[in-house]
Amino acid sequence: MTKTFPENFLWGGATAANQIEGAWDEGGRGPATSDFARLITKEIRDTEGAFDTHVPHNAASREMVADMKAHPENWELPKRRGIDFYHTYQEDIRLFAEMGFKVFRMSLSWSRIFPKGDDPQPNEEGLLFYDAVFDELHKYGIEPMVTLSHFDTPLHLAEAYNGFASRHTVEAFVRYAETVMKRYKGKVKYWLTFNEINNVLSNPFTSSGVILGGAPEPLSCNPYLGNWQLKFQTVHNQFIASALAVKKLHEIDPEAKMGNMLCRLENYAESCKPEDQLQVMFEDHFNWFFTDVQANGEYPYYMKRFFDENNIHIEMEPDDLKILKDGAVDFITISYYMTYIMRYKGSPVPQPTGRLVSDIKNPYLPKSEWGWTIDPIGLRVTLNRIYDRYHKPIFISENGLGAVDHFDENGHIQDDYRIDYMRAHVEQLREAIADGVDVFGYAWWGPIDLISSGTSEMTKRYGMIYVDQDDYGRGSKKRSRKKSFYYYKKLIASNGADLENDAVIEVS
């Protein structure tokens, strides 16, 4: 069998509005939860702990939000400035087109459309901005894939209703979704509901607008600490919002498709011990849960015991189960960055780890500067497992390498480490397609340097396009091409056939 990529395979890149747009208070935009995500530098990580519950990378309490609003000068809040895509989108899209992008996965800022999230009328200036972005993409033949909510809940909904803990926010989301799906009918064929919906558990503030306050126990940034009842009720409400958005899209534009988005966590057992295999099974269930509901339209059997043993009782309205069944997504999208090692944690129902980076290191895999394992074969494994489970088309909506980039003596960034990462993962993607997995596209996370989601820093760079800006917003914001820019351009031009690392930086 010839190992090739399908004709019309969608190569491209992925970003989020809250990490690139900036202009947080321009064009009628209202404040969003992402505007209150603090900068976590290496010095803070080294001294206070990267994701310690005492150092939340995203604000998680009313007191912290209030202090950030009252004294912004005391906080570094880089997502407010982004990389100024709001003003530079034409230049940036032109660079994406030069690479040969077929798709650009992006998100809308909900509070740019509805400043408070539930306003009587949408903000026309915000709608016009995205009209202009979509028109610019289509000028170059680039298909937009649009995420409705990417860690960017309007702050008013968080403060007044505790975000998606309330059905009011569900209603506001569906109205927002209906507004933009009608407005951009014919301009957007692919939509996603919630970015990495499983991160509701670890980032309740930014991803779902839930703020600590009045909860019977702390709403920790650790997904498996704090008020589980509140977190899983929030998850349920987002499931309902997603399903209702799917139904609306099918009514508004039968030709368009709606997908989900899961942060895929592929797990390996530490040993051959059956107990370690049990832990892997449990961790997998906990990850699959989100896509099982969104793709199959029903709660899976295995969560009942977990809910019972942790005193979690989901409050449902009479039609909720039918809404879920009628609102299954059309395709699956995932972010894939690394794999994890699991060890049995005891008890009949093992407790999940709840960490982004596994405490147990895999001796067979290299790691990034941020401790993320690099496992291209894991991508092939997980794609096969997803397709075997759902038999729905798959789009890789995020894959990438965060690294510290340095200029050489000629003022160029020779980022062969990024090229090696991309090449190895695309090779395994090609193998998965040869296995028979239906994958229709691949988006590199952060084709242009952007603000880190987790730490709000610029030091951790993913882009093939360099942005002259540091963690504190200093710099010219000038864009320049890295070596990986030319590599990806060559790869796309060959539809994935040419993976040799022989690209060179072109001097203009």
Residue 270 has φ and ψ, to the nearest 5°, of -70, -30
Distance between CA atoms of 231 and 227, rounded to whole angstroms?
6
List Cα–Cα distances, 11 to 28, 228, 376, 486, in angstroms: 33, 38, 18, 14
* b (16+ CB within 10 A) / e for 10-30: bbbbbbbbbbbbbbbeebbbb
Cβ pair 496, 5 in contact under 8 A: yes
Q: Is 26 a catalytic residue?
A: no
Question: Are residues 35 and 79 in contact, defined by beta-carbon separation less than 8 angstroms?
Answer: yes
Strand partners, 110: none
- Two tokens at 296? 């199959």
Structure tokens at 188: 């957007």
Q: Is the dihedral of CA 171, 147, 259, 389 positive or negative?
A: negative
Q: Please list the residues that pair with 71 across neighbouring strands.
A: none
Residue 128 DSSP SS3:
helix
Sheet holding 190-194, edge to edge: 257-259, 190-194, 143-149, 103-107, 10-14, 439-445, 394-398, 332-335, 262-263
Q: Do 422 and 444 form a contact (C-beta atoms < 8 A)?
A: yes
Active-site choice (136, 270, 398, 457): 398
Catalytically active residues are 398
